[in-house]
Structure 1
């Protein structure tokens, strides 16, 4: 058995080999260390026809890549390399000579399938077009079902021959929105203070008039293991609420700040020991950008986020009061001492090691700085961000005479799902309509 073992600080990994019958440690194959944190996410993958070798995924060079090892722990070679991420390994062909993987080699907002020849460490791109490809590979490795979309194409499903590159279209989806008065968004980038490109997605209000100014709704997340914007249908959004709000006369803006996923180790680790800080810096950059747009009504802007995005939303409203007139924070972390230990300490260290970082992110101590309207939403049975978080902020607000709004969803956990989700979005829409228009 091969088990990746982390220390409490999560900055020192040992890949250990154990006896499967007794559980005894045989040896440590290799170690990985990082001044911030190491995060093993994928187990070892033994070669299909050669159990004396395995593939290990690591971002030790700053990007998630594939490394070939002897089963005894000796590194043979790095199989993939570049300033891009391997996102998913799909498996081997019939002979085990080639490995299929998905990467962001073309762009952080695209996904393409590659075939990697293990012997030579040479890769060949199989899918075509600037898009997000979801693929299934046959057991022989000779054919691929390629299901892809981009911001202009709702969905194409093709049967792809890996050897020749020939493709046969099985399905071309029609635009599901042809019966609706709506427009697609605009994907582009702005530059952060750190020099990083930040991907943005902007919907202009329906019936846009260049001589008018419109209120703004900004949606964000900004935490690890999440990416809001991709070059896929509806720009990667999981629902059509952004288009709906544009129908209602809002400029709708979405951005992936530093701390988000699939942009390399440095981009995510920028928030180490100070979660929220780089995210707020990037939001200030976004606000400055929005204010340059002649059709933006900067006096009527709203902010919306959930979970980590809920934390970022409350943090921004209290740390930079007056920028946004109204905000909605769903399932927000209010005090990182109350959140799950392994996740929190990966990015923040322990409260003993980082007292300032934890103090700066205890939002109950900032509530007196609130200007504008704030709606907190929480699932009553939330086991992820405990309701204690938002309740503690309400208690602090009451103690200090600050008015906030609060909504619970009985029977729901961290995300409000099912038929009640429509109620949630109506609640959010009504709140922003009431306070921004």
Structure 2
């Protein structure tokens, strides 16, 4: 089986290399994209199945299907062709109105409880809907100002926050105040550690829903940071807590509230208080909580067990250390048939892989191995095999596999080259496979964990078939050290090899991001396709430091954010400029956030490479960026003064030769406005002209209808100073 797997992998790689890679279906049509099309026209996104998901304790699935301009709820069974209409919108709305809700013009988010019941939340009220009876009933409600709501596993209780405190709402009882903090600097139940380490929330229900673990964060030692709110007259200041690199960080603890005893116990996680408490996992018997405790330096992790009843520390199961950093992002995956064993994801051998442990902390075996990454774990099948996604076929692809935790035997489940997003059924028998590739807009299938296709639910048509699109190619080039760097190049429709085209490089370049994938449009977006229609060559390179390639590739940037990434962008840009159809004197660059940092760096540290740059939400000075992210990749300013000095960008302002537009949202709480404002001030001091635009009232990303305004601004800048610049004569 393993030989067959390796042969299949080799065949896939050879096919990938032999194509390298024509990835855009040629459309012999002539429609042109508008900026509104590129950002607001949902009809140009490949068709999908709304709210598709598994129904618990069954082989059934459900989704919303359009019927005479109204959605209806449809139900099917894996392996069977027939689907049943089980609920019309009008019937749903009528039932909710009888239960006290307003008329519904669409289905809210549906969360299934069992085969016949689901719950929905409408304006803070939780309703149960019985599909057989077509009847709704009010379960409970939460306050209008409630935030961070999370249902318990029974779907009958809600944990939520109001201001800085945590509450629980349940049927037939008044809301419970889990915390009663009077100091606004102590916050409970909200996402913590700046949402790093895979943290997305601050509440963690036990498997039965009888207990709730939650974060309690003391931010009193963290400096206030002012956010200017201009919607008030006069303008007001909203202070946030923003721990900057090298400064004081918040202190987190974990509380556990027992709904039966109505008592809270705090885990005795000890000191230092500015350590990071990550990847919280309940044991199946609810007697223990496991935490991956990471030190402030982020180079030492301890997987600790705590007793839920007392909060006492039980033991450290194992430790991981790395001279650069350790970054656990997933909890424990307990084996369904043996609660004394679990799987752990670690990059300890250089790639993210699964390791089998017992609860005494003994490693039994490494389950997966190779120069590829396990990207996520979906669950276990009936035979106890772990189902996961990985990059084993190619760094550009994602496929679903099953691995025997005892023998390590691996079987690929997903079919077809490309990117597979999958959800495993509760009984572990089937996956919903939502798949795309450069030539497949979207196909949704049900595949058994035996690798056999059971149903094809959707084959989406090409939504861009009427549009004039150019050719998109994916290909590798070599970095200075010989490492493969993957690139994407989009050429204009009606391409003329004898012309000289201006080019735009779109860049991110930082950790946790991969821009180039074997997926629809090669991972590009419609703005890039629009730019190609306008006559630009659009180019992207995933530099060292980006995701999906293993620890050495991503951590190569450690202590020098920007330096290697710039080298790789220059390598890619040199390849771009070497193309006979590219005007080497009319090349621009654009990026946002880390990409804004890269754009600004390249425009001033290598000022002869790019003629025009547009930097959005840019990090300018790593001293001003948040503790968790910055200290992982740069250490502290005290430990790495040279790294901070080299990659702080004010000093390079005098080098600027081309046109630079900087853009920032005025209430950005991720990359604070101070970065670009200070940069602008220092440009004035240096007598250097830059262009500047701000988006009042927008945070780090400019979304919604204003996104059209933003991208028109970016595009116009390139049109004015790149497209309309004098072309190079052949």
Structure 1 length normalisation: TM-score? 0.98
- Does residue 110 (structure 1) correspond to residue 359 (structure 2)? The answer is no
Shift of 1:164: 5.3
CA distance in 2, matches of 1:210, 1:278: 32
- Does residue 82 (structure 1) correspond to residue 370 (structure 2)? The answer is yes
Contact 1:151 1:184 in 2 (8 A): no
Aligned with 1:91 (options 365, 375, 379):
379
Aligned with 1:142 (options 423, 429, 432):
429
Shift of 1:19: 1.5
After TM superposition, the structure 1 = structure 2 runs for residues 32-431 of structure 1, keeping only pairs within 5 Å, are 32-94=320-382, 97-163=384-450, 165-237=452-524, 239-431=525-717
Following TM superposition, the consecutive aligned residue runs of length 4 or more in structure 1 with deviations greater than 6 angstroms are none
For residues 83-124 of structure 1, what are the alpha-carbon distances to aligned partners after superposition, in whole Å with 9 as ceiling and x for unaligned?
0000010011245x1111000000001000011222222111
Contact 2:471 2:492 in 1 (8 A): no
Shift of 1:140: 2.4
Contact 2:501 2:537 in 1 (8 A): yes
CA distance in 2, matches of 1:261, 1:335: 23
CA distance in 2, matches of 1:164, 1:348: 44
* Of 118-127 and 224-233, the range deviating more from structure 2: 118-127
CA distance in 1, matches of 2:448, 2:552: 37
Contact 1:94 1:139 in 2 (8 A): no
For residues 241-263 of structure 1, what are the alpha-carbon distances to aligned partners after superposition, in whole Å with 9 as ceiling and x for unaligned?
11100000101101101000010
CA distance in 1, matches of 2:619, 2:309: 43
Contact 1:192 1:198 in 2 (8 A): yes
CA distance in 2, matches of 1:432, 1:392: 24
Structure 1 partner of 2:20: none
CA distance in 2, matches of 1:93, 1:287: 46
Contact 2:300 2:320 in 1 (8 A): yes
Q: Structure 1: any 5+ residue segments left out of the alignment?
A: none
For residue 633 of structure 2, give the secondary structure of its aligned residue in structure 1: helix
Shift of 1:167: 4.4
Structure 2 partner of 1:3: 291
* Of 128-137 and 245-254, the range deviating more from structure 2: 128-137
Distance 1:207 1:427, change over 3 A: same
Contact 1:331 1:379 in 2 (8 A): yes
Shift of 1:125: 0.3
User: Aligned-pair RMSD on alpha carbons?
Assistant: 1.1
Aligned with 2:310 (options 15, 19, 22):
22
Contact 2:662 2:692 in 1 (8 A): yes
For residues 366-405 of structure 1, what are the alpha-carbon distances to aligned partners after superposition, in whole Å with 9 as ceiling and x for unaligned?
1111110001111111100000000010000001110011
Corresponding residue pairs, total: 435
Contact 2:413 2:451 in 1 (8 A): no
Contact 1:184 1:234 in 2 (8 A): no
Shift of 1:6: 1.3
Shift of 1:24: 1.7
Q: Structure 2: any 5+ residue segments left out of the alignment?
A: 1-288, 724-730
